[in-house]
């Protein structure tokens, strides 16, 4: 069952990623990326990371991609145009990427000690601890400082985004 | 074991993560639209998240999942600021094609 | 039980629950029409069947038989996809809602009254609400119509703003119940009947108020129904939709209402527990014993829907900037204060 679920959702991931590359209109690419992200959420569930699966759907697919979709709708720039820029990136980069991918795959396939994942396995096999409890015991005790610093980071990002995306006319009006 | 009861070797998850990462890199190199390039970056981040969760499962350590949590938060912050920059660039240049946004002065 | 048995029984539960939910949606429309009619001192629909009870069936038949017009300038794939996303997101989150007591089990630990008992049930509902924004955003954009675009942008901004207040208001309940599992949250309210519900004994009345406001905004209902304001936006994001696709948006709105009502009863009103607690002894018949919690659940959801329609018939709608200011400036800080107060109270205890 685990193998079948993995194959189905891995196929969705790959199909979404390839579709991201093949589509010309950014809104179609955005929707394919949403498919990738929700399939990844299912794969996290298969690996026993329930909270991360929910966080992936809420944060990535439900907030970040909504942001992307809004920007595509707001800018309304239309389909990608064929420009006459340099194609050097694609010509050199594509084979290089394939080479690196082949290298990584060889390393992965020759790794010893990787186990396998079955259905219903929990992360640390402590009795009666859900995945959420395991995560939060570490997150709120040992890693409290990074957690709080992350919230400051998000605050900075909000301020930066508002300042950058402001309409330039609004500043002139406020200056009066 | 029958097909219904087989477990999935973790190397398959890592292979999927490597493939998604490679597709993200190829997307970043091939695409000429700013927003689509940014989406390829998000794809790369997601691929790395999958590897982290896989290794967390292998070593039965919760630190892998916590790192994924932080990567998600940082990616959210980065997406917000990046898209604001893209909006500002579009207002100045009226185009999203990367090849046209290559001069400092208009 | 084997995988095949599990899949079969789950499929059966899904079919029954979906059919009941869709019938509930149809009759909620009737409830609204009759109730708003009575508030406005007129009868609602009374002609079709006794007291107008067959009206939803006739409305459904009308929807099917209307001509399906697709304007030529729309972006077809997204135009056809948007109502599907809206309706499926409204129907999916019913899977983690427990209707009745989990003490009633079938052979092999089969829960009769809940489709999926997951440890993160509440996050699943929040996640699916987040995905529901796409239905509206894509509908407005693909319609190639300025009223639709404006309506959908306003509606999506409203939805994502109030999602925040919604999620934060539920944190107080989660702190008290110490779990995100819906079944455990309800069971933590089952000790003393009415007094142990989160609304009364749990002192979460501020959170309930915030949840109520955020829920009205999330489902685009009065007083937050500016995106659908006929006098301003000519029906907003579903202007260009006709017949069945419009019916799908309509059904999605009412299914969201019912869903929000279910979550409110589970988290604040004690779910399937009876308000009398242990004062009234349980009936001896095992079938009645199983159905009584479900009756309480349905009664509470019905009273929540009654409140919904009552507010719709009574209050005028917000202006858009007032709406956004209310969500970000009042509800969100209030929700955060509620979390602070609840955690201080729990730490003190």
The CATH number given to whatever domain includes residue A14 is 1.20.120.1200
pLDDT of residue C100: 81
Using the beta-carbon criterion (under 8 Å), do C123 and A54 form an inter-chain contact?
yes
Domain co-membership, A64 together with A138: no
R_g of chain B computed on alpha carbons: 18
DSSP secondary-structure letter at B37? H
pLDDT of residue C221: 82
Domain co-membership, A136 together with A72: no
Any chains having at least 3 CB pairs less than 8 A from chain C are A
pLDDT of residue B82: 95
Query: Is residue B14 in a domain?
Result: yes
DSSP secondary-structure letter at C236? G
- Which residues are CB-contacts of C173 (< 8 A; sequence separation ≥ 6)? C185, C198, C202, C204, C207, C267, C268
Query: Is residue A100 in a domain?
Result: no
SS3 A25: coil
Residue B30: name the closest of C347, A33, A96 by CA: A96
Flag whether residue C3 sits within 8 Å of chain A, measured between CB atoms.
Answer: yes
Using the beta-carbon criterion (under 8 Å), do A123 and B57 form an inter-chain contact?
yes
- Stated as kind and residue range, the H or E segment containing B106 is none
pLDDT higher than threshold 60 for residue A174: no
Burial of residue C121, with CB atoms counted within 10 A of its CB: 0-12 exposed, 13-18 middle, 19 or more buried: buried
pLDDT of residue C214: 92
CA distances from B30 to A23, A36, C28, C132 (A): 12, 19, 52, 32
**Residues of chain B falling short of pLDDT 50:** none
How does A102-134 read in b/e, with b if 16+ C-beta sit within 10 Å? eebbeebeeeeebebbeeebebeeeeeebbbeb
pLDDT of residue C229: 65
**Residue B67 sits in a domain of what CATH number?**
1.10.287.3510
Task: Output the six-digit token pair for B4.
Answer: 């219904």
Which chain B residue shows the shortest CA-CA distance from A131? B62
Domain count, chain A: 2
Flag whether residue A70 sits within 8 Å of chain C, measured between CB atoms.
Answer: yes
pLDDT of residue B47: 96
Residue C340: name the closest of C206, C228, C234, C218 by CA: C206
Contact C100, C297 (CB under 8 A): yes
Please write the tens of the pLDDT for every residue from A85-120: 677 778 888 889 999 999 999 988 888 777 777 766
Q: Which residues of B touch A135 (CB under 8 A)?
A: 62, 65-66, 69
Contact C323, C224 (CB under 8 A): yes
DSSP secondary-structure letter at C93? G
Domain co-membership, A74 together with A143: no
Q: Are strands C105-106 and B8-9 parallel, antiparallel or unpaired?
A: unpaired
The number of beta carbons lying within 10 Å of the beta carbon of residue C314 is: 11
Contact B56, B44 (CB under 8 A): no
Q: Å from A73 to nearest chain C CA? A: 7
Query: Is residue A142 in a domain?
Result: yes
Burial of residue A162, with CB atoms counted within 10 A of its CB: 0-12 exposed, 13-18 middle, 19 or more buried: exposed
Among candidate residues A80, A98, A121, the one where a domain is terminated: A80
Domain co-membership, A67 together with A138: no
Closest Cβ–Cβ partner in A27, A50, A62 for C131: A62
How far apart are alpha carbons A40 and A117 in whole angstroms?
Answer: 16
Using the beta-carbon criterion (under 8 Å), do C160 and A55 form an inter-chain contact?
no
Query: Is residue B105 in a domain?
Result: no
Q: Which residues of C touch A66 (CB under 8 A)?
A: 130, 133-134, 137, 156, 160
Q: At what angle do helices C286-314 and C3-39 cross, to 10 degrees?
A: 40
CA distances from C331 to A62, C107, C212, C216 (A): 21, 46, 11, 13
Query: Is residue A43 in a domain?
Result: yes
Domain co-membership, A68 together with A3: yes
Query: Is residue B79 in a domain?
Result: yes
pLDDT of residue A32: 95
Query: Is residue A119 in a domain?
Result: no
- pLDDT string in tens for chain C (349-residue length): 677 888 888 898 899 999 999 999 999 999 999 999 999 999 888 888 888 888 888 888 888 888 888 888 888 889 999 999 999 999 998 889 988 877 766 666 667 788 888 888 899 999 999 999 999 899 988 888 887 888 888 888 899 999 989 999 999 899 888 888 888 888 888 877 677 787 777 788 899 999 999 999 888 887 888 777 655 656 677 778 877 888 898 899 999 999 999 999 999 988 888 887 777 777 777 778 778 888 889 999 999 999 999 998 888 888 888 888 998 999 999 999 999 999 998 899 8
Question: Quick check: bond before C297 cis, omega within 30?
Answer: no
Task: Output the six-digit token pair for A27.
Answer: 């809104």
pLDDT of residue C231: 56
Using the beta-carbon criterion (under 8 Å), do C127 and A58 form an inter-chain contact?
yes
How far apart are alpha carbons B101 and B86 in whole angstroms?
Answer: 11
| Mean pLDDT, rounded, for A61-81 | 87
Query: Is residue B81 in a domain?
Result: yes
**Domain range spanning residue B93?**
9-100
Query: Is residue A117 in a domain?
Result: no
pLDDT higher than threshold 50 for residue A163: yes
pLDDT of residue C303: 93
Closest Cβ–Cβ partner in B9, B22, B61 for A114: B9
Domain count, chain B: 1
Query: Is residue A44 in a domain?
Result: yes
Q: Å from A5 to nearest chain B CA? A: 10
Using the beta-carbon criterion (under 8 Å), do A77 and B62 form an inter-chain contact?
no
- For CA atoms B57, B58, B59, B63, the dihedral sign is negative
pLDDT higher than threshold 70 for residue A53: yes
Using the beta-carbon criterion (under 8 Å), do A165 and B87 form an inter-chain contact?
yes
**Domain range spanning residue A74?**
1-80
The string of DSSP letters for A110-163 reads: T-SS--EE-TT--SS--TT--HHHHHHHHHTTTTHHHHHHHHHHHHHHHHHHHH
pLDDT of residue C289: 78
Query: Is residue B95 in a domain?
Result: yes
Q: Å from A83 to nearest chain C CA? A: 25
Q: At what angle do helices C55-65 and C243-267 cross, to 10 degrees?
A: 140
Chain centre to alpha carbon of residue C193: 24
Task: Output the six-digit token pair for C86.
Answer: 């809206």
Domain boundaries, chain C: 21-65, 66-348
Angle at A127 between CA A124 and CA A131, to 5 degrees: 50
Phi, psi of C116, deg, nearest 5: -135, 120
Give the model's confidence band at A176: pLDDT under 50 very low, under 70 low, under 90 confident, else very high: very low
Q: Which residues of A touch B79 (CB under 8 A)?
A: 64, 67-68
């Amino acid at each position: 069952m685990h193998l079948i679920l993995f194959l189905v959702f891995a196929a969705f991931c790959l199909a979404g990623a390839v579709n991201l590359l093949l589509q010309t209109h950014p809104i179609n690419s955005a929707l394919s990326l949403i498919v990738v992200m929700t399939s990844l959420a299912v794969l996290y569930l298969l690996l026993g990371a329930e909270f991360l699966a929910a966080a992936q759907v809420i944060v990535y697919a439900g907030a970040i991609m909504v942001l992307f979709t809004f920007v595509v709708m707001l800018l309304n720039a239309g389909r990608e145009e064929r420009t006459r820029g340099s194609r050097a990136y694609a010509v050199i980069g594509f084979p290089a990427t394939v080479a690196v991918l082949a290298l990584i795959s060889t390393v992965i396939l020759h790794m010893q000690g990787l186990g396998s994942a079955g259905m219903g396995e929990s992360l640390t096999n402590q009795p009666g601890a859900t995945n959420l409890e395991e995560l939060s015991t570490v997150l709120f005790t040992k890693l409290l400082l990074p957690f709080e610093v992350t919230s400051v980071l998000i605050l900075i990002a909000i301020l930066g985004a508002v300042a950058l995306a402001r309409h330039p006319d609004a500043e002139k009006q406020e200056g009066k | 074991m029958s097909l219904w009861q087989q477990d999935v070797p973790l190397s398959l998850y890592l292979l999927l993560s490597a493939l998604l990462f490679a597709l993200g890199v190829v997307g970043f190199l091939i695409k000429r639209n700013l927003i689509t390039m940014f989406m390829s970056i998000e794809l790369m981040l997601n691929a790395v998240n999958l590897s982290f969760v896989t290794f967390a499962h292998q070593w039965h350590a919760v630190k892998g999942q916590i790192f994924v949590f932080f990567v998600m938060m940082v990616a959210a912050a980065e997406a917000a600021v990046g898209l604001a920059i893209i909006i500002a660039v579009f207002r100045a240049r009226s185009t999203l094609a990367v090849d046209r946004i290559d001069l400092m002065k208009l | 039980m084997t995988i095949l048995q599990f899949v079969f029984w789950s499929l059966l539960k899904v079919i029954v629950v979906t059919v009941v939910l869709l019938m509930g949606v149809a009759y909620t429309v009737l409830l609204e029409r009759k109730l708003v009619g009575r508030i406005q001192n007129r009868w609602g629909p009374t002609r079709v069947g006794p007291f107008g009870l067959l009206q939803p069936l006739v409305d459904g038949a009308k929807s099917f038989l209307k001509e399906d017009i697709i304007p030529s300038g729309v972006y077809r794939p997204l135009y056809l996809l948007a109502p599907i996303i809206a309706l499926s997101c409204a129907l999916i989150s019913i899977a983690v809602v427990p209707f009745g007591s989990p003490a009633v089990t079938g052979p092999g630990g089969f829960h009769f009254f809940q489709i999926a008992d997951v440890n993160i049930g509440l996050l699943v509902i929040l996640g699916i609400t987040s995905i529901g924004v796409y239905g509206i955003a894509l509908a407005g954009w693909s319609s190639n119509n300025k009223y639709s675009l404006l309506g959908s942008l306003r509606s999506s901004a409203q939805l994502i703003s109030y999602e925040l207040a919604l999620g934060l208001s539920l944190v107080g309940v989660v702190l008290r119940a110490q779990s995100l599992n819906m079944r455990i949250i309800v069971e933590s309210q089952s000790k003393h009947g009415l007094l142990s519900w989160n609304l009364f004994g749990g002192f979460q009345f501020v959170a309930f108020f915030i949840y109520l406001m955020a829920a009205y905004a999330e489902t685009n209902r009065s007083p937050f129904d500016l995106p659908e304001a006929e006098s301003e936006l000519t029906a907003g994001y579903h202007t260009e939709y006709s017949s069945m696709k419009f019916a799908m948006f309509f059904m999605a709105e009412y299914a969201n209402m019912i869903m929000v009502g279910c979550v409110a009863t589970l988290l604040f009103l004690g779910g399937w527990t009876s308000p009398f607690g242990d004062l009234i002894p349980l009936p001896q018949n095992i079938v009645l014993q199983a159905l009584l919690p479900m009756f309480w659940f349905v009664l509470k959801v019905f009273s929540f829907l009654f409140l919904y329609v009552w507010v719709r018939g009574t209050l005028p709608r917000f202006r858009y900037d007032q709406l956004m200011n209310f969500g970000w400036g009042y509800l969100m800080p209030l929700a955060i204060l509620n979390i602070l107060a609840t955690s201080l109270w729990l730490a003190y205890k």
